[in-house]
Chain A
Amino acid sequence: MSRVELLSPEGLRIDGRRPAELRKITSTTAVLSQADGSAYLEHGNTKVLAAVYGPREARHRALVLHDRAIINVEFNVAPFSTGERRRRTKNDKRLLEMASFVKQTFEPVVVTTLYARSQIDIYLQIIQHDGGTLQACINAATMALIDAGIAMTDYVCACTAGWVEREAAIDLNHIEESSDTSEVTVAMLPKSGKITLMQMESRLHVDKLEEVLSLAGEGCKQMHVVMDKTIRDRAEDLAAKMAV
Chain B
Amino acid sequence: MSEIAFYSPVPRSSNSKAKSKGNHSNDNDMDLDEMISSVAKNSSTSATLHVVTPGEVITTDSAYMRGHGTYVENEKVLSSVAGVVDRVNKLISVRPLHTRYNGEIGDVVVGRITEVAQKRWKVDLNSRSDAILMLSSVNLPGGVQRRKQESDELQMRNFFMEGDLVVAEVQSFFTDGAYSIHTRSLKYGKLRNGSFLEVAPALVQRCKSHFHSLACGVDLILGLNGYIWVSAHVPQNLDEIDTEQVYSNKNKEDITVQDREAIARVANCIRALAAEFIFINDTIISFAYEASLQHKLKDMTKKEIMHQIATEAVDAVENMKG
Cross-chain contact A239 with B55 (CB below 8 angstroms):
no
Surface stretch bound by A, among B1-9, B81-89, B185-193: B81-89
Residue of B with least CB distance to A143: B82
Cross-chain contact A149 with B277 (CB below 8 angstroms):
no
Chain A nearest CB, measured from B138 CB (Å): 21
Contacts of B55 in A (CB 8 A): 152-155, 189-191
State whether the Cβ of A238 lies closer than 8 Å to any Cβ in chain B.
Answer: yes
Cross-chain contact A151 with B80 (CB below 8 angstroms):
yes
Cross-chain contact A149 with B96 (CB below 8 angstroms):
yes
State whether the Cβ of B18 lies closer than 8 Å to any Cβ in chain A.
Answer: no
Flag A217-244 by CB within 8 Å of B: 1 or 0 each.
0000000000010011011101111111
Cross-chain contact A56 with B128 (CB below 8 angstroms):
yes
Cross-chain contact B97 with A235 (CB below 8 angstroms):
yes
Cross-chain contact A239 with B51 (CB below 8 angstroms):
yes
Q: How far is the CA of A55 from the CA of B125 in the complex (A)?
A: 12
Chain A nearest CB, measured from B124 CB (Å): 7
State whether the Cβ of B202 lies closer than 8 Å to any Cβ in chain A.
Answer: yes
**Residue from B82, B176, B178, B276 in contact with A235 in the complex, judged by beta carbons closer than 8 Å:** B82
State whether the Cβ of B247 lies closer than 8 Å to any Cβ in chain A.
Answer: no
Contacts of A232 in B (CB 8 A): 51, 53, 82
State whether the Cβ of B159 lies closer than 8 Å to any Cβ in chain A.
Answer: no
A56-B128, A152-B54 known; A244-B176 Cβ under 8 A:
no
8 Å CB contacts to A: which residues of B122-153?
Answer: 122, 124, 128-130
State whether the Cβ of A139 lies closer than 8 Å to any Cβ in chain B.
Answer: no
Q: How far is the CA of A71 from the CA of B66 in the complex (A)?
A: 26
A232-B51, A239-B51, A243-B46 known; A153-B276 Cβ under 8 A:
no
Contacts of B71 in A (CB 8 A): 111, 151, 153
Cross-chain contact A238 with B98 (CB below 8 angstroms):
yes
State whether the Cβ of A162 lies closer than 8 Å to any Cβ in chain B.
Answer: no
Cross-chain contact B276 with A149 (CB below 8 angstroms):
no
**Residue from B46, B81, B122, B203 in contact with A146 in the complex, judged by beta carbons closer than 8 Å:** B81
State whether the Cβ of A165 lies closer than 8 Å to any Cβ in chain B.
Answer: no
Contacts of A236 in B (CB 8 A): 49, 51
Cross-chain contact A37 with B98 (CB below 8 angstroms):
yes
A56-B128, A151-B80, A235-B53 known; A117-B178 Cβ under 8 A:
yes
Q: How far is the CA of A66 from the CA of B128 in the complex (A)?
A: 13
Q: How far is the CA of A103 from the CA of B296 in the complex (A)?
A: 48
Cross-chain contact A57 with B83 (CB below 8 angstroms):
no
Q: How far is the CA of A235 from the CA of B51 in the complex (A)?
A: 7
8 Å CB contacts to A: which residues of B73-101?
Answer: 73, 78, 80-84, 96-100
State whether the Cβ of B291 lies closer than 8 Å to any Cβ in chain A.
Answer: no
A66-B176, A241-B276 known; A154-B129 Cβ under 8 A:
no
Q: Can you give 21 A-B contacts (C-beta < 8 A)?
A: A37-B98, A55-B100, A55-B129, A56-B128, A58-B129, A111-B80, A149-B96, A149-B97, A150-B81, A152-B81, A154-B55, A155-B55, A232-B51, A235-B51, A235-B53, A235-B97, A238-B277, A239-B97, A240-B46, A241-B278, A244-B314
